[in-house]
Structure 1
Amino acid sequence: MKRAIAGILILSAAAIGFLFWIIYGVEAGNDSSQWAFLPATNALFNAISASAVITGLIFISKGNKRAHGISMGTALLASALFLVGYIIHHTVHGDTMFLTQGWLRPTYFFILITHIILSIVVLPLVLTTVFFAATRRWPAHRRIAKWTYPVWLYVSVTGVLVFVFLRHLNG
């Protein structure tokens, strides 16, 4: 088990390092018009992930383990698809500046910064929680899931909020 957790931490660190490289080390392409659908699609994947996490919580609270597993698998798939879409969008488009002033600006940056920090935290949490479920280590799964689900839910919901701020409130 210690090897698996170490592997999850190494994989998480490599994924996070890769994302930092994409964000800060790769110059974005020039023509991103063919990929203009990605921000909305990525927000949709975040919304699906959040909905699936909530649905999974409801199912497990009612003792429906199979439906819980399907819901959490859906949340994992939606989050993975978001990540792929985010990497593609950031590679071809780069950063989107938030230009709005006033009270919305600090609100946006608070949401964005907490979203980024917790997205780094959530990756190893999700992978560890899934590992414990896949290996049927239910007590360990339940212990870590109590930490994983609120962080995962926050990251998914704030991902949608970041999209709304950038697309609809950005002046």
Structure 2
Amino acid sequence: MEHTNLAAEKKYNKWIVFLSIVIPLAVAALFGVNLRDLGFDVEPLTFLPPIYATINGLTALILIVAFWAVKNKKIKLHERLMTTAIGCSVLFLVMYVAYHMTSDSTSYGGEGLMRSIYFFILITHIILSIIIIPFVLITYVRAITNNIERHKKIARITFPMWLYVALSGVIVYIMISPYYA
């Protein structure tokens, strides 16, 4: 049985590698593109940051409830919550890119220690948001292919990292929000 599950899991590896490379590259490429600078007549989507920050907060809450669900043997609830958390992360990403493709970047205006704290949180958030992609995909694939022991093993790494990314996204938004134009 375990051999069959590993074979099923292995079928997804190319997609995991592909998405783990393409998503960060696409985000980086699109982040540097402002449609207004290219001559497109689009309104800046300045209403999006509080929405995608809220989605990050919701993702964190869903992850915590999903953790509780699995610890209390509510497996179906856990599955639904984790799928929802992935959906929230995708929705966040789409809104984040849309905002940055239509709006000018906002600089953090704080000084001193707060500036250092902001950039520490921002940089660790960005780095881990790239690293988390293959972890989430591998964790999810191990669950859907019923490789539960292997799923649990990587989920112990994925969960705190993903939770940090979601929560730090909210903190970054709260810290930079006074400086939005």
User: Structure 2-normalised TM-score?
Assistant: 0.87
DSSP 3-state at the match of 1:103:
helix
Rounded to whole Å, the distance in 2 between the matches of 1:95 and 1:147 is 32
Post-superposition Cα deviations, 1:62-118, rounded to whole Å, max 9, x if no partner, equal 111011112112211111110010010011014211121121100000000000000
Rounded to whole Å, the distance in 2 between the matches of 1:51 and 1:32 is 33
DSSP 3-state at the match of 1:164:
helix
Matched, 1:146 2:153: no
- Residue aligning to 2:168: 158
Structure with larger Rg: 2
Matched, 1:16 2:29: no
- One-letter code aligned to 1:56: A
Matched, 1:77 2:87: yes
Structure 1 segments unaligned to the other structure (5+ residues): none
Identity %: 34
- Residue aligning to 1:29: 36
Aligned CA distance change for structure 1 residues 140 and 56 (closer, same or farther; 3 Å): same
Rounded to whole Å, the distance in 1 between the matches of 2:10 and 2:136 is 16
Structure 2 segments unaligned to the other structure (5+ residues): 1-8
State the aligned residue count.
Answer: 170
DSSP 3-state at the match of 1:100:
coil
User: Structure 1-normalised TM-score?
Assistant: 0.92
Rounded to whole Å, the distance in 1 between the matches of 2:164 and 2:116 is 18
1:57-68 alignment to 2 at 5 Å? 57-68=67-78
Instruction: List 4+ stretches of structure 1 deviating above 4 A.
Output: 30-34
The alignment yields a C-alpha RMSD, in angstroms, of 1.9
